[in-house]
Amino acid sequence: MSARLLALRPRALGDVVLITPALRALLAGHPGATLEVVTEPRYAPLLEPLPGVAKIWPLERSVRGTLALIAALRRRRFDLVVDFFGNPRTALIAAWCGAATSVGYALRGRGRAYRRAVPRTALVLDAAGRPRREHAAATHVRLALAAGGRADGLDPRLAPHSADGARADELLARAGVRAPEETVGLVAAGTWPAKTWPAVNAGRLARLVAEAGRDVLLLAGPGEDDVTDTVRRHAPGVRVLPPCGVAELAAVIARLGAVVGTDSGPIHLAAAFGRPTFAWFGPTDPDTWAPRGDAHAVWRTTLPCRGCDRTRCPHWNCMPELTAEAAATRVLAHLERHGRAAADLRPAAGA
């Protein structure tokens, strides 16, 4: 009988994308195993099409929902559970789901929930022997290896549902995008106030990129109306993606020529679909979060407090340090080097 594996990663968008190399590692190290994943319902469409993923268990943010999920998981009699998140809820699931073996991060107050606990942070040296932060995907793969996995690269890979393709085409048409493969997606907002670029700068960047002959599609999410209004004021010709779910967003990004903007989930989606990216970093560290490879470039603040991971900042000088003009110069030069011909930017297989 094949082994039954369970992986836990409820949120967030970028982090869910970045566990895909670890899921591959688990499957490579356990040939013939059945892999099931617990995540929040909105992220299920990203993981369902992955090779080897047999089932997605939706996790609702309620005590009743968590207990019902644990009861259902216990009936599955998993051989192994791996917690790639490590918050109190997922630690509880790992401890109570009835799996024969559990592996997770050795975090304070949660490490005892697992049969084997692995440090979340590890010393990594660059080519010159200097210490740097470990990339998030590498951290998750290291946890998968501790659970018997075998490394299968660090690059995230996704393939959207074919059913989402028609919806993506409809959304792009509503936004006025006629040539998605020649359009640049722009992420102007951020989940943290401290890592969000000034909306005025984002608007001016959109205008400068459009003046250089490239269409710009603003990838705005719920609660970002003020940012959208500001960007539109400074770049009247910018396209705006209509409201949509994660599955549709992924299918749209799979069709774009590139994505630029805040360190965010859409940047990781673009990288997972092989699209060039350019992202800016202040309180977050590109060593941990930037996509790898020549097609992905970053700007990073020069302030000594950079990489502080603060969600709020009393002075917030890092992000305004990047001007729209400097960003446009860097972004356009990067796209000139790494943008691909339209024939090479067809939607990913299954899109």
For the stretch 191-234, pLDDT in tens is: 888 999 999 999 999 999 999 999 999 999 888 999 999 999 99
**pLDDT band (50, 70, 90) for residue 339:** confident
Does the N-terminal peptide bond of residue 72 adopt cis geometry, omega within 30 degrees of 0? no
**pLDDT band (50, 70, 90) for residue 81:** very high
- The whole-number average pLDDT for the span 69-76 is 98
Is pLDDT at 345 greater than 60 in this prediction? Answer: no
The pLDDT value given to residue 346: 40
What are the DSSP calls for 43-84, one per residue? GHHHHTTSTTEEEEEE--SSHHHHHHHHHHHHTT--SEEEES
Counting beta carbons within 10 angstroms of the beta carbon of residue 66, is it exposed (0 to 12), middle (13 to 18) or buried (19 or more)? middle
**pLDDT band (50, 70, 90) for residue 348:** very low
Helix (H) or strand (E) holding 260: strand 258-262
Residue-wise pLDDT for 84-110, tens only, equals 999 999 999 999 999 999 999 999 888
Angle at 332 (CA atoms; ends 327, 333), nearest 5 degrees: 100
What are the DSSP calls for 162-212, one per residue? THHHHHHHHHHHHHT-S-GGGEEEEE---SSGGGPPPHHHHHHHHHHHHHT
Residue type, 159: A
- The whole-number average pLDDT for the span 330-346 is 71
Which pair of tokens denotes residue 172? 């792009």
| 43, 51 contact by CB (below 8 A) | no
Kindly list the domain boundaries of the chain, sorted by start residue.
4-146, 163-344
**pLDDT band (50, 70, 90) for residue 1:** low
Report how far residue 91's alpha carbon sits from residue 40's, in angstroms, rounded to the nearest whole number: 16
Q: How far is CA 238 from CA 60, 188, 219, 258, in A?
A: 36, 12, 11, 15
- The DSSP letter of residue 336 is H
- The DSSP letter of residue 340 is -
The whole-angstrom distance between residue 266's C-alpha and the CA centroid of its chain comes to 6
Do 163-344 and 4-146 have the same topology in CATH?
Answer: yes
Residue-wise pLDDT for 118-167, tens only, equals 999 988 888 888 889 999 999 999 999 999 999 999 999 998 777 788 99
Is pLDDT at 283 greater than 70 in this prediction? Answer: yes
| 284, 28 contact by CB (below 8 A) | no
Placement of tokens 């992955």 in the chain: 50
- The whole-number average pLDDT for the span 239-267 is 96
- The whole-number average pLDDT for the span 241-253 is 96
**pLDDT band (50, 70, 90) for residue 53:** very high
Report how far residue 105's alpha carbon sits from residue 136's, in angstroms, rounded to the nearest whole number: 13
Nearest to 276 by CA among 211, 202, 322, 341: 341
**pLDDT band (50, 70, 90) for residue 290:** very high
Is pLDDT at 56 greater than 70 in this prediction? Answer: yes
- Which CATH architecture best describes the domain 163-344? 3-Layer(aba) Sandwich (3.40)
- Which CATH architecture best describes the domain 4-146? 3-Layer(aba) Sandwich (3.40)
**What share of the chain has pLDDT > 70, as a percent?**
96
Instruction: Report the SS3 class of residue 145.
Output: helix
The pLDDT value given to residue 130: 86
Residue-wise pLDDT for 173-194, tens only, equals 999 999 999 999 999 999 888 9
Which pair of tokens denotes residue 126? 């660059």
